[in-house]
């Protein structure tokens, strides 16, 4: 039986239980999970600002027991070459991206998984920004 490699992407800022549960489900799709993490410069291009730097986010995600390796995502266009480079059999993302990456079906299986309900980095950031300042 051949081993399957799963590849996914994300910012993974303010690492939370939703991230852990998604990575666990992704890891169950294959034998190896590789995660592309948005670089700081790519986030800037997307108009996003992470609380933690790329290096810190990569260290956090790499420490998760479900993740075998991480690498920087520097642009939208690199996915096809990453699939080839890492010999990915499955490309998987959260279901808020349904249809956006179907063009990758020419290279590998594409799967969209449901997000963990009621938890998101955006929600956490909004909640934290609404709290009164201490000090």
Residues designated catalytic: 46, 48
Q: Enter the tokens of residue 6.
A: 């799963």
* Separation of CA 39 from chain center: 12
Residues with Cβ < 8 Å from 100, sequence gap 6 or more? 93
Residues with Cβ < 8 Å from 118, sequence gap 6 or more? none
CA dihedral of 95, 96, 97, 99, whole degrees rounded to 10: 70
């Amino acid at each position: 039986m051949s081993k399957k490699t799963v590849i996914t992407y994300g910012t993974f800022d303010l690492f939370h239980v939703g991230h852990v549960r998604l990575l666990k489900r992704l890891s169950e799709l294959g034998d190896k999970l590789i995660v592309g993490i948005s670089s700081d410069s790519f986030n800037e291009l997307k108009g996003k600002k992470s609380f933690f730097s790329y290096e810190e986010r990569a260290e956090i995600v790499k420490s998760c027991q479900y993740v075998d390796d991480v690498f920087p995502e520097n642009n939208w266009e690199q996915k096809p070459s990453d699939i080839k480079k890492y010999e990915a059999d499955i490309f998987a993302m959260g279901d808020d991206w349904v249809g956006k990456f179907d063009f990758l079906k020419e290279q590998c299986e594409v799967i969209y998984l449901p997000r963990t309900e009621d938890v998101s980095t955006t929600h956490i950031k909004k909640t934290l920004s609404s709290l009164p300042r201490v000090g």
